[in-house]
Chains A and B, each alone.
Chain A
Amino acid sequence: NAGVTQTPKFRVLKTGQSMTLLCAQDMNHEYMYWYRQDPGMGLRLIHYSVGEGTTAKGEVPDGYNVSRLKKQNFLLGLESAAPSQTSVYFCASSVPSGGPDEQYFGPGTRLTVT
C-alpha cells in the first residue's frame, strides 16, 4: 500500500495563477482532510470530506476550493494564488471508528507564491 500520496511535491506559482493539488489514498478511508502548515504554527484545517461527493469548510477555507468526486481522491484548488498561501500543504485520511479517528498523512506539497 502506498498510503497517502500527494502531487506535486513542490510548486512555485506567481500571484494570480491557479493550480490543483492532488491527494490520493489507497486505504479505502472515508474521511479526507487538507491542512496547511506555516512556520511556528500548528497545522490548520482548510477543508475536509466525510465521503465521496461531500465536503465541508475547516478553520481556514478562504481562497481554496475542494472536490471529492472519487472516494480515493481529494483535490485542493487555488483559483488565484496569493503570497499568503505560501505554505506546506498536507493531506490526510482516516476511517470512522466510533472513537478518535487516527489520521494518516501524506508527505506534503511545498508551495511558494511569488
Chain B
Amino acid sequence: QQQVKQSPQSLIVQKGGISIINCAYENTAFDYFPWYQQFPGKGPALLIAIRPDVSEKKEGRFTISFNKSAKQFSLHIMDSQPGDSATYFCAASRGSTLGRLYFGRGTQLTVWP
C-alpha cells in the first residue's frame, strides 16, 4: 500500500517557469515531510523539509506548501533551471522514527532551456 501518493509522474517545464509537484498522505501520525532530489545513478539528496506546525517553508527557489487538514503538501520550484532536471521524491515519516521514510513514486522533472 502506497503510504504517500505523488503526482504528476512526469513534468516538463520551460526555463524560468514554476514546477509544482503534489503529494498526499493518509497516516496522521506522520509529522515530518521531506523532499528529495535524485540524479540518475545517485542516492537522493535532501532539498527541503517541513513539519506540520507551519503551512509554508521557503529555501531559495524551493517552497513547500503544507495543508494539514487536507493531508497534502507540495513542492514549488521557482525560476526552474535545466540543472533542476532530476527525479523528485516526497516522503513522510514519524519524527520519533526519522529515517523510516515512506517515499512517493517520484516525479521526473525536465526543464527545457
A and B bind: no
By a beta-carbon cutoff of 8 Å, the part of chain A in contact with chain B is none
Binding site for A on B (CB under 8 A): none
